[in-house]
Amino acid sequence: MSREELKGFINATERSFTLRTKLKECKTVHEIIMLSKEYGFTINSDDLKEDKDAEYLQNWFKISIISPIKKNI
């Protein structure tokens, strides 16, 4: 699976009330994976972990940007 599959599943979830309702009922990662397969997406637990790690890194880079040094002229 690629991140594209996960992005597609997330996109489908945002657009489908039924899918969103079913996703809210999921209690485990396995249930989320099975639901994604039901809707034609191929994701696995590693994909969910990698996406979480990638999101963490993206947020870290956003908040850790150092402002340029201003010169007093």
CB atoms within 10 A of CB 44: 15
Question: Structurally, how many domains does the chain consist of?
Answer: 1
Alpha helices in 1-73 (DSSP H): 3-15, 17-25, 29-38, 45-63
**Total residue length of the chain:** 73
**Quick one: pLDDT band at residue 1, thresholds 50, 70, 90?**
very low
Q: 52 is in which domain, residue-wise?
A: 3-63
Structural domain contains residue 33: yes
Structural domain contains residue 43: yes
Structural domain contains residue 71: no
**Quick one: pLDDT band at residue 67, thresholds 50, 70, 90?**
low
Structural domain contains residue 73: no
Structural domain contains residue 69: no
Structural domain contains residue 26: yes
Q: What would you measure as the largest C-alpha separation in the chain, in angstroms?
A: 64
**Quick one: pLDDT band at residue 70, thresholds 50, 70, 90?**
low
* Residue 13: burial class (beta carbons within 10 Å; 0-12, 13-18, 19+): buried
Structural domain contains residue 24: yes
